[in-house]
C-alpha cells in the first residue's frame, strides 16, 4: 500500500502550554470538558523510552489512546489510518513531539501508531487510554494488534 501524508480523521493533536516559574513547570494535559465521551480515560500510565528505541507500531481493536509528550525527550510519532471505513484511509501522519513541542495526541480505535525516541537521553510519555489494560481485574485478552511482531507489516518506523 502507498501511504499519503496528511491529517487523519479523528486524530486530535493539541499543543500544551507549560506554565513556567522558579519552581519548574506545570501543564494541563487532560480536561474532561475537552475529551469526547467515547475517549474518556479509564486509566493512566507513564513510560520511559530509552534514546533511539521505538514502541510500536500497533493498533487497538477497541481502545483509543490519549498520549502526552511533554518532555523530557523528543519523539517521532507516526500514525497510519488503516481503517477501511475512514474518510482518510491510506493516510499517514508524522510529527515530532515532546520537550520542544509539547503535545497531547488523541488516537482513535484502529489507527496504527508508533513512536521513536529521537533524543540523546531517556524520554517520558504518559497515556490515558479509554479502556483498562487487559480489562477489569486484568482478566481479558490484551487489545493490541502488534505489527512490530510481524516482519511483513506495512508500517515502517524508519525513514
* Neighbouring C-beta atoms of residue 83, cutoff 10 Å: 19
pLDDT at 154: 87
pLDDT at 73: 97
The string of pLDDT tens digits covering residues 115-156 is 999 999 999 999 999 999 988 999 998 899 999 888 888 898
Strands 111-117 and 54-60: antiparallel
pLDDT at 153: 86
The string of pLDDT tens digits covering residues 84-102 is 999 999 999 999 999 999 9
Give me the residues paired with residue 82 across strands.
Answer: none
pLDDT at 109: 96
User: What is the pTM for the complete model shown?
Assistant: 0.92
| Mean pLDDT, residues 32-48 taken together | 92
What percentage of the chain exceeds 70 in pLDDT? 100
pLDDT at 90: 96
Dist CA 159 CA 157 (whole Å): 7
Q: Name the 3-class secondary structure at 126.
A: strand
Question: 139 with 52: CB under 8 angstroms?
Answer: no
Q: Given a cut of 80, is residue 159 above it in pLDDT?
A: no
Query: What are the structural domains, with CATH classification, of the chain?
Result: 4-19+26-131+143-149 (2.60.120.10)
Place of cell 504518559: 126
pLDDT at 134: 87
- Name the band, by pLDDT with cuts 50, 70 and 90, for residue 15: very high
pLDDT at 95: 97
Amino acid at each position: 500500500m502507498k501511504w499519503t501524508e496528511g491529517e487523519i480523521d479523528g486524530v486530535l493533536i493539541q499543543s500544551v502550554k507549560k506554565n513556567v516559574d522558579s519552581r519548574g513547570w506545570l501543564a494541563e494535559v487532560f480536561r474532561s470538558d475537552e475529551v469526547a465521551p467515547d475517549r474518556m480515560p479509564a486509566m493512566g500510565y507513564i513510560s520511559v523510552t530509552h534514546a533511539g528505541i521505538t514502541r510500536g507500531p500497533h493498533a487497538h481493536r477497541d481502545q483509543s489512546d490519549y498520549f502526552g509528550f511533554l518532555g523530557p525527550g523528543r519523539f517521532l510519532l507516526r500514525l497510519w489510518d488503516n481503517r477501511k471505513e475512514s474518510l482518510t484511509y491510506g493516510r499517514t501522519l508524522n510529527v515530532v513531539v515532546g520537550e520542544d513541542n509539547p503535545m497531547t495526541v488523541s488516537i482513535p480505535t484502529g489507527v496504527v501508531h508508533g513512536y521513536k525516541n529521537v533524543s540523546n537521553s531517556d524520554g517520558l510519555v504518559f497515556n490515558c487510554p479509554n479502556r483498562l489494560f487487559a480489562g477489569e481485574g486484568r482478566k481479558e485478552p490484551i487489545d493490541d494488534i502488534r505489527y512490530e511482531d510481524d516482519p511483513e507489516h506495512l508500517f515502517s518506523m524508519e525513514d
